[in-house]
Amino acid sequence: METLSENKCFGGTQGVYKHSSEATKTDMTFGLFLPAEAADGPVPVLWYLSGLTCTHENAMVKAGAQGWAAEQGIALVFPDTSPRGAAVADDPGYDLGQGAGFYVNATQDPWAPHFQMWDYVAEELPRLITRNFAVDEERQSITGHSMGGHGALTMAMGLKGRFKSVSAFAPIANPTAGDWGRKQLNAYLGPDEAAWARHDATLMMAQNGLDIPLLVDQGTADDFIDLLMPEALFAAAAQARVDGHLRLQKGYDHSYFFVSSFMEDHIGFHAEALYA
């Protein structure tokens, strides 16, 4: 593992690291914020999964998360959104291929050799981080934005017992039913929709509910709201009688100005679960 940068930040350290990934068979870069408390021993961790077109860097510089994480003594991990490089398949669209891994393990060519983002984020990166940094694997929570909100929700439901809480900012809530999802699930997983269901937060919620606290924020002025379909997830969460706060934030759009506006609430929400 190579250290690309380390900056002092809110009394802790914002680092960027590169390593050779077994899951994606590429180099992968990630951001990690460690609060000052990590000097004294393992701290709880909040995973932040990013959206389409993002790298490990967007949220790290635009979400305003480190200050609140420092206040709560929580580490933040910012993974990349896909494998990258000249040897990695890509697509001219911004919403498929590099920068658009959708947090699945691709089974279809040309994607299958490198696009193994579920395994990378769910298995390999947690192992790497808990072995190399003062991060407590027993106290993990997860959040994300847009495609990353989809990733956070599906991992929280798919990896039962892993996370203490889950939140999402404007998640792709029902990808099997919309254009942000059908195209990608078809490309990565093939045309058999049975394989898609475990990557759809609304379907997973309807089938198995969720046994950890949930917070979702969705801006009402989000230009992509018809693709995100919060109404499907809200109905499924209510029907499943989960512990959930589902918020429509009037006038907010899909940008990091929206994400940063509610970051304090999300980190406070996760802190409550991580320190319970």
Which stretch in 59-67, 101-109, 127-135, 247-255 sits in contact with a second copy by CB under 8 A?
A: 247-255
Q: Determine, following the binding rule CB under 8 A, whether residue 242 of this chain makes contact with a second copy.
A: yes
Residue window 169-188: x/- pattern of binding to a second copy, with contact defined by CB under 8 A:
--------------------
Answer yes or no: 200 catalytic: no
Which stretch in 81-89, 90-98, 184-192, 240-248 sits in contact with a second copy by CB under 8 A?
A: 240-248
Write the DSSP string, 154-207. HHHHHSTTTEEEEEEES----GGGSTTTHHHHHHHH-S-GGGTGGG-HHHHHHH
Please identify which of the residues 199, 254, 266, 270 carries the catalytic annotation: 254
Q: Determine, following the binding rule CB under 8 A, whether residue 230 of this chain makes contact with a second copy.
A: yes
Give 36: exposed, middle or buried? Use CB within 10 Å, 0-12, 13-18, 19+: middle
Which stretch in 17-25, 77-85, 95-103, 232-240 sits in contact with a second copy by CB under 8 A?
A: 232-240
Q: Which lies closer to a second copy via its Cβ, residue 91 or residue 243?
A: 243
Q: Pick from 248, 260, 261, 272: which binds a second copy (CB under 8 A)?
A: 248
CA 153 – CA 15 distance, rounded (Å): 26
- Neighbour tally for 8: CB within 10 Å: 9
Q: Which lies closer to a second copy via its Cβ, residue 64 or residue 209?
A: 209
The CA distances from residue 235 to 40, 136, 146, 230, 241, in Å, are 43, 34, 19, 9, 10
